[in-house]
C-alpha cells in the first residue's frame, strides 16, 4: 500500500515497525478520531501512573529493595518512559498521518522507542532467569542476596544490548546506503523494507526471549513438582547465623524416603554427632530432653520446607502470568511485522497491523498491575501509598513473602 495523498511509502516508528501506509485513523470520522485520541491519552496516563507507583513503592518500602526486585524497577523505568515519551509523540502522528516535529526529533523518538521496547523484553527475560535461579538453586542464590553489584551489572548490560540491537541502524542506515527512503513529513526507520534485517532482529528480540522464558518456566514447574513428591535439600534456607536446622539440609537423604522421614533421620544423626557439644553449651544440661530437641529440629525442618515450597509456587504462578501477557502482547506484532516485510505490506491489512503494535504499548501499561496481583509485598506497598489509613488497619506483624 502507498499513501494515497502523498504517493510515498510511510512507516510508523513504534518498536521495529514496518508500516507502509499512513495510520488508518486519518480516514475516520471526527467522532472516531476523538474516541481514538481519548483512548490513546488514557493508555499513556495509565502507563505513566502505574509505573510511577512501582518506582515509588520501591523507593519508599525498604522490604522491596532486594536483588530480584531491582529487575522489576528496571522494567518499570522502561515502561514509564514508553508512556511519558513514546505514546504522546505518536498520538498526533497517528491521528493526522503527518510528522510535524522535524527530522531530528523523529530520529530521537525512533531511538528511544526501539530502545525502550527492546529493554522491556530483555528485562522480562532477566526476571524469569532470576526466578529460575531462586527456585532451582535456592541455597547459592541466597548466599548472593547481599551482593548488589551483580544485578546492577545485568541491568546495565540489558540497556547496552538493547541499544546495540536497533539504534545504530536507525542512526546510520541512510548514511551507509547513501540516501534516505523516508519522506520529509514522515517518521519511520530506514530498514522497514529490509526483510532479512527485520527477521534477524526480531529473532533476538522476541523468539529467543520467548523460548528462554518458556524454558525457565518449565524447569521451575518441574522442580516444584519433584519437590512435592520427594522433597529436596533446596527447600532449606540458610539463615544469617549458624543454625542446627540449616545443617539438617546438608545431610544426605536415603533414597525413597519422605521429607518427614528424612527430617527425623537427619535429626537423629545430627543429635548423635552433636550431642556432646549441645550439652556443653547449655547452662542446665540435666533439663534438656533429647527427644524434645529432636522434635523441635524436625518441626523446624518441615516448616521451612513447606514455607519455601509455597513461596516458590507463588513465584511460578506470578511468573507464568507475566510471561503469558508478554507473549500475547508481542506475538501478533512480531509475526505480522515479518509477514508484512516479506510481502512489502500488501498482505496484511493496515488496521490489523496498527492494533498489533498498540498491544506492545499495552504490555507496558499492564506490567504494574501484574506486580500488584502477583506480588504480596508490592501489593502492600501500593496500598501504603494509595490508602495509608487502610494499610495501617490491615498491617500485620509479618507480611508473606513473594
Q: What are the domain boundaries of the chain?
A: 24-230+344-394, 244-297
> Closest Cα to residue 354, out of 5, 27, 4?
27
Give the span between the Cα atoms of 302 and 309, in whole angstroms: 11
Q: Where are the beta strands (DSSP E) in 228-361?
A: none
CB atoms within 10 A of CB 230: 14
User: Is the predicted pLDDT of residue 342 greater than 90, yes or no?
Assistant: no
Residue 31 in grid coordinates: 467522532
Give the span between the Cα atoms of 257 and 278, in whole angstroms: 27
Contact call for residues 36 and 25 (beta carbons, < 8 A): yes
Query: Residue range 255-272: average pLDDT?
Result: 47
Banded model confidence at residue 14, pLDDT cuts 50, 70, 90: very low
What pLDDT score was predicted for residue 396? 55
Q: Which of 15-19, 318-322, 356-360 has the highest mean pLDDT?
A: 356-360
Query: Residue range 211-224: average pLDDT?
Result: 87
Q: 23 phi and psi, to 5 degrees? A: -55, 135
What pLDDT score was predicted for residue 146? 58
Higher-pLDDT residue of 349, 255: 349
| Full-model pTM | 0.72
Fold adopted by 24-230+344-394: Rhopdopsin 7-helix transmembrane proteins (1.20.1070)
| Residue appearing with cell numbers 506484532 | 333
Rg for the chain, CA atoms, rounded: 27
User: Is the predicted pLDDT of residue 309 greater than 70, yes or no?
Assistant: no
Amino acid at each position: 500500500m502507498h499513501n494515497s495523498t502523498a504517493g510515498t511509502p510511510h512507516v510508523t516508528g513504534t518498536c521495529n515497525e514496518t508500516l507502509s501506509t499512513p495510520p488508518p485513523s486519518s480516514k475516520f470520522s471526527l467522532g472516531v478520531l476523538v474516541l481514538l485520541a481519548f483512548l490513546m491519552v488514557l493508555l499513556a496516563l495509565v502507563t505513566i501512573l502505574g509505573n510511577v507507583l512501582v518506582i515509588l513503592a520501591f523507593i519508599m518500602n525498604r522490604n522491596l529493595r532486594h536483588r530480584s526486585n531491582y529487575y522489576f524497577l528496571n522494567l518499570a523505568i522502561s515502561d514509564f518512559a514508553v508512556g511519558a515519551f513514546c505514546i504522546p509523540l505518536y498520538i498526533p502522528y497517528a491521528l493526522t498521518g503527518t510528522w510535524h516535529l522535524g527530522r531530528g526529533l523523529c530520529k530521537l523518538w525512533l531511538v528511544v522507542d526501539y530502545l525502550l521496547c527492546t529493554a522491556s523484553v530483555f528485562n522480562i527475560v532477566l526476571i524469569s532467569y532470576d526466578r529460575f535461579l531462586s527456585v532451582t538453586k535456592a541455597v547459592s542464590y541466597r548466599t548472593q542476596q547481599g551482593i548488589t553489584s551483580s544485578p546492577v551489572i545485568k541491568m546495565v548490560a540489558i540497556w547496552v544490548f538493547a541499544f546495540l540491537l536497533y539504534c545504530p541502524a536507525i542512526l546510520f542506515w541512510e548514511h551507509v546506503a547513501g540516501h534516505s527512503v523516508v519522506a520529509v513529513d514522515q517518521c519511520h526507520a530506514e530498514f522497514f523494507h529490509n526483510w532479512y534485517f527485520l527477521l534477524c532482529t526480531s529473532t533476538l528480540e522476541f523468539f529467543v526471549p520467548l523460548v528462554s522464558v518458556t524454558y525457565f518456566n518449565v524447569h521451575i514447574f518441574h522442580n516444584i513438582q519433584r519437590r512435592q513428591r520427594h522433597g529436596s535439600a533446596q527447600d532449606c534456607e540458610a539463615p544469617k547465623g549458624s543454625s542446627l536446622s540449616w545443617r539438617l539440609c546438608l545431610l544426605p537423604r536415603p533414597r525413597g524416603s519422605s521429607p518427614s522421614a528424612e527430617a527425623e533421620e537427619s535429626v537423629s544423626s545430627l543429635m548423635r554427632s552433636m550431642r556432646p557439644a549441645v550439652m556443653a553449651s547449655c547452662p542446665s544440661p540435666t533439663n534438656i530432653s533429647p527427644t524434645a530437641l529432636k522434635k523441635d529440629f524436625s518441626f523446624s525442618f518441615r516448616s521451612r520446607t513447606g514455607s519455601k515450597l509455597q513461596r516458590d509456587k507463588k513465584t511460578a504462578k506470578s511468573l507464568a502470568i507475566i510471561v503469558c501477557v508478554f507473549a500475547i502482547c508481542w506475538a501478533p506484532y512480531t509475526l505480522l511485522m515479518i509477514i508484512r516485510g516479506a510481502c512489502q505490506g500488501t498482505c496484511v491489512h493496515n488496521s490489523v497491523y496498527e492494533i498489533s503494535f498498540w498491544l506492545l504499548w499495552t504490555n507496558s501499561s499492564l506490567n504494574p498491575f501484574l506486580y500488584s496481583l502477583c506480588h504480596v509485598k508490592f501489593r502492600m506497598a501500593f496500598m501504603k501509598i494509595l490508602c495509608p489509613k487502610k494499610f495501617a488497619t490491615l498491617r500485620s506483624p509479618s507480611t508473606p513473602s513473594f
